[in-house]
Structure formats: C-alpha cells, structure tokens
Amino acid sequence: MATQTKRTAYTTRALTTDTWGDFAALVEANNGVWGGCWCMGFHPEGFTGGTAEANRANKLALVRRGEVHQVLVYDGDECVGWCQYGTPVDLPNIQNHKAYDKDLETLPDWRIGCIFTGKGHRRAGVARAAVVGALGAIAEAGGGLVEAYPEQVEDRKPQQGAYFHTGPESLFEELGFERDRRIAKWRWVMRRRVEPTA
C-alpha cells in the first residue's frame, strides 16, 4: 500500500521472514531500540529473554511461527519505521495493566502495540503511514474494535520521541480514535471501530 504524506510517499510491507532483514537493519541502526528490546515488550514472552540477543531470537521465532503482525514502512528500499498490532492474545503485555483492568468492560478485537520511527526519519509522517497501514491490514483481516494506548501531547511540555513508543495521542485523534479512559497520568485508552474491507 502506498501512503502519500505531506513530505514523502512511503510504502508498507508486513514483517515476515522475507522482510526480517529490513526490520533487523532498522533495529540495529538504532542500537537495538531502547538498548535491545527488539519490540518484544507487548508479546507474551515480554523481555524474559533478558538480553538483546535473546530478545532478537524470540522476535525472530515469533516471526517464523507467523505470530507477529507488524507493518513496516519503507522510504524507497529502506525500512524506516513500524507499527505493531495484534489481538489481546497476541499482545497481552500492555503497560498500566492494573488501571486498564479496573474499568475494563469489553476487550477490543485488536490492539495497536509499539510504534517506532528510526532516528533521522522522524516528524516526516512515517508513524502516520505505519498506523494507517496497520488499520488497513486490520480492515482486511475482518475489522473490529481497535484500541491504542497513546501518550497525551496537549497541555504538557514537549516530550522526547522515546516517550511515545505507543504513539502520540494527536496521531490517533487524527485517525479517528476517541478517548475511552485514562490509565496513567498521561496515557489514555483510545478506541476506534474499523470496518472490514468489502
């Protein structure tokens, strides 16, 4: 899928064994992301591997088993960012779980997990393209209720991008998500229904 943003046109591909090398190159160019998380935090294994190498191996094993839903964003041939998504079974480890569970009425069909844009590519619409790609993939997979857990941006001093690993609220607002409930001082559950692709 090609997404036209205000600065550049990106393409998207799913993270599979075919695109693993592109994803791995992006993670390695960014010091493993958070020093070696390899985007494992939301997955059932979490960070039980304990090292960057183990996180990498766990992620690759999940990809090989077809248990990862992750949209990669490309600028030409270079993978520059991603958006992870999945069912609550695929992605059980959301932060602030206690606060989340307290007022939970219905689980969503899908969750948006981690979002990442490589250094040097930020504020050029990569995350937007990644989330739009994930919502498109969700529509193709039958749609349903989608939740995200972004950080509030407004009424707060400017934050470094690293705080926004679940994305900035403004991005989800722009894409039709609405606040459901607060689960931390600056973090919200936001929801949106996605219709299935006809």
Are 79 and 25 in contact by the 8 Å Cβ rule? The answer is yes
Interacting residue with ligand COA among 65, 76, 162, 185 (CB under 6 A) = 162
The amino acid that residue 135 corresponds to is: L
Q: Which residues pair with 148 in a beta bridge?
A: 190
Residue 125 makes contact with ligand COA by CB under 6 A: yes
The DSSP 8-state label assigned to residue 58 in this structure reads H
- Scan residues 56-95 and list those touching ligand COA (CB under 6 A): 81
Q: How far is the CB of 18 from ligand COA (least distance, A)?
A: 21
Q: How far is the CB of 162 from ligand COA (least distance, A)?
A: 5
Closer Cβ to ligand COA, 11 or 104, answer by number: 11
Closer Cβ to ligand COA, 16 or 93, answer by number: 93
Q: Which residue is at the shortest CB distance from ligand COA?
A: 161
Interacting residue with ligand COA among 15, 62, 94, 124 (CB under 6 A) = 124
Are 78 and 72 in contact by the 8 Å Cβ rule? The answer is no
Interacting residue with ligand COA among 37, 134, 137, 175 (CB under 6 A) = 37
Number of neighbours of residue 35 by Cβ within 10 angstroms: 8
Measured distance CA(17)–CA(20) in Å, rounded: 5
- Scan residues 103-122 and list those touching ligand COA (CB under 6 A): 114-117, 122
CA angle, 67 then 38 then 21, to 5°: 75
Number of neighbours of residue 117 by Cβ within 10 angstroms: 24
Helix (H) or strand (E) holding 147: strand 144-148
Binding site for ligand COA (CB under 6 A): 33-34, 37, 39, 81, 114-117, 122-128, 153, 159, 161-162, 164-165, 167-168, 170-171
